[in-house]
Amino acid sequence: MPRFGAVLSGTGSFLPERRLTNGDLEKLVDTNNEWIIQRTGIHERRLAGPSESTATLALEAARRALDAARLPAEQIDLIIVATLTPEMPTPSTACMLHHLLGIQRPIGAFDMGAACSGFLYALATATQFIGSGSYRHVLVVGAETLSRVVDYTDRGTCILFGDGAGAAVVSACDNPQRGVRAFELGAKGDGGTLLSIPAGGSRVPASAVSVENRLHYLKMNGREVYKFAVHQMTMSLQRAMEACSLTSQSVRLVVPHQVNLRIINSATEKMGFPRDKVFINIDRYGNTSAASVPIALDEAIRQGRCGPGDWIIMVAFGAGLTWASATLHL
């Protein structure tokens, strides 16, 4: 039994200004607005500008979360940044964020690599440090500039992804019955090739050949990933409900990874959730991987779709293959 509850004391999000509409994509690849809306629910996405990168998006989201928590950055005890598009292989984006926030204390900072499930993996990690009494405030961020790894000649992937960042300050609460009450982390490593960036790591280092073969871009077997995503998101949602003996009536809101509107609708309908209990913003931002859940969470809280005393479930699925859920009593 944890000694402390891990509660959300503030959330924030940041989306770059530049918009990429379905109409813009029609000029780049053989696709059309109707197909994209019908198959994914996406109308437009945001793209980072030339002076923006994962750390700068993370910084804005983190500042907004700290403001909402009314907490000076200096009081943060640990920083975790979930991302699959870090600033560079090393140092970590979390260390850069430590610097950009101007934090003087030598607190821990590290990146979390679990693709679209990354924010929930990071939240579960923060919950351990807080529940044990090790730390009082952990800054958990999900931030991506997927536009830097998306191949805008591949219509199977470029229609889906966008850039953005979301953050949460997770704080200790004397009542262990509040905050994160259950989580699930999962992985199926043999599905790794279904969704990957093949080059740029130790297996296929950058070379003229890797660039020529476009191996630094995101590759996806959409159809296979889709099937697995529907199954796994349904099962994760079911287990998240069972973990706290919840029903679709007692849960106020499901905040899913904005993976594809059809996947979200299919999984939540199977578990008996009406549409108004499922938070959706994929139409405006597309799939922002690790940033997707914290952006949706922040918007849901700011729009009053959930608040103190409510049960919410966050659920995600992504490359790895990975999945994760978190059940919270706000």
Beta-carbon contacts of 45 under 8 Å, excluding residues fewer than 6 positions away, are 19, 20, 161, 162, 163, 285, 286, 288
Cβ proximity to ligand UT7: between 13 and 232 the closer is 232
Residue of 13, 94, 96 lying closest to 57 (CA atoms): 13
- For the bound state, the minimum distance from the C-beta of residue 217 to ligand UT7, rounded and expressed in Å, comes to 14
The end-to-end CA distance of the chain, in Å, is 18
**Spatial separation of the C-alpha atoms in residues 19 and 22, rounded to whole Å:** 10
Active site residue 216: no
234 is an interface residue for ligand UT7 by CB under 6 A:
no
How many of the chain's residues bind ligand UT7 (CB under 6 A)? 20
Interaction pattern, residues 37-76, with ligand UT7; x per rule: CB under 6 A: --xx------------------------------------
CA atoms of 78 and 130, how far apart (whole Å)? 10
Annotation says 281 is catalytic = no
Q: Which is nearer to ligand UT7, 110 or 226 (CB)?
A: 226
Minimum CB distance to ligand UT7, residue 287 (Å): 5
Whichever of 57 and 261 has its CB closer to ligand UT7, that residue is 261
- Cβ neighbours of residue 143 closer than 8 Å, sequence gap 6 or more: 54, 55, 57, 58, 61, 81, 82, 83, 93, 164, 165, 166, 167, 290, 291
Residues 111-170 that bind ligand UT7 (CB under 6 A): 116, 155-156, 159-160
Q: Which of 152, 200, 222, 265 binds ligand UT7 (CB under 6 A)?
A: 222
Which of these is catalytic: 22, 260, 281, 287?
287
Window contacting ligand UT7 (CB under 6 A); options: 33-41, 93-101, 167-175, 306-314 = 33-41
Q: Is 116 assigned a catalytic role?
A: yes
Of 65-73, 81-89, 223-231, 301-309: span binding ligand UT7 (CB under 6 A): 223-231
- DSSP label of 176: T
Q: Would strands 311-318 and 322-329 be described as parallel, antiparallel, or unpaired?
A: antiparallel
Beta partners for 311? 329
Annotated active-site positions, please?
Answer: 116, 257, 287
